[in-house]
Structure 1
């Protein structure tokens, strides 16, 4: 399990990305998100949403692919908050459970993160695994919390500030 490619999202992979996205949520959040919310995800709707992202924001999403199946993805762009704490935001980062610990997440983050620009992200408060991963790349909790949009789960914000030693 070491052969994958990192690609920008393209039309032939939109459906597989939708399947991956739903599977990742179900794998990672079964203890955090109500079962009825996870069960309600629809591949057609998710694929349509990803197609809109692909067309409207080209280059904003990268995927990890093996045998033409999406096994992970990362998406980022300009901060979406009304008063952003950083100019860029990592909007999504997921890897299928069988690929945890293989380096896929590392490759995705390296492909989507601009190491020259401060970046923020939101992560579930009850997801220490993800928070630990992001800390390895310089993200730190900034004390801001909010309720996630469609679940009762609390999200916390993490911010990565560029340091002079980060610049290549």
Structure 2
């Protein structure tokens, strides 16, 4: 039996998820994102933002919660946010604490947020080959689109997963 469970985000988990989000950025993006951006994360502001999203879009966010109550990962998906979408759905977030890489947490989160019968797109840092390799395992492929990330000078690339044809 696993030492975590994946559940829909509840109000009492928002702060823990926000702590997880900040920690994941700091673990994953050091050297890719300017240090002052990583240092500037404010837990209270991040928690307020996630609470607004949780209330406005119920059921879109799932969290992996360790048996001790600690949020160790989360994922979110929904309608695409791109101006000219190329897929019916967008994987807008997938984060797992580094200590849980390779344990199945990310796979369980993906299983909960990916729709098997819908094309899905996501944006990932261009200089993050580990994440791109992970997404390829789920059928995502680069489609050639690039953009600057909203909060950093880093470049993101789009990956798309086509639903199997029936």
- TM class by shorter-chain length? over 0.9
- Following superposition, the deviation at residue 2 of structure 1 comes to 3.9
* Consecutive unaligned residues in structure 1, runs of 5 or more: none
* Consecutive unaligned residues in structure 2, runs of 5 or more: none
8 Å CA contact 1:90, 1:113 repeated in 2: yes
> TM-score normalised to the size of structure 1?
0.96
Q: Deviations over 1:75-114 (max 9, x none)?
A: 1100001110001100010000000010000000000111
> TM-score normalised to the size of structure 2?
0.97
Structure 1 residues 27-38: aligned runs within 5 Å: 27-38=27-38
Structure 1 residues 128-139: aligned runs within 5 Å: 128-139=129-140
Structure 1 residues 122-161: aligned runs within 5 Å: 122-161=123-162
8 Å CA contact 1:2, 1:102 repeated in 2: no
* Paired residue secondary structure (1:115): coil
Q: Does 1:48 align with 2:82?
A: no
Q: Hey, what's the Cα distance between the residues in 2 that align with 1:157 and 1:75? A: 16
1:79 — aligned with what? 80
* Paired residue secondary structure (1:101): coil
Count of equivalent residues: 165
Q: Hey, what's the Cα distance between the residues in 2 that align with 1:48 and 1:76? A: 19
CA RMSD of aligned residues (A): 1.1
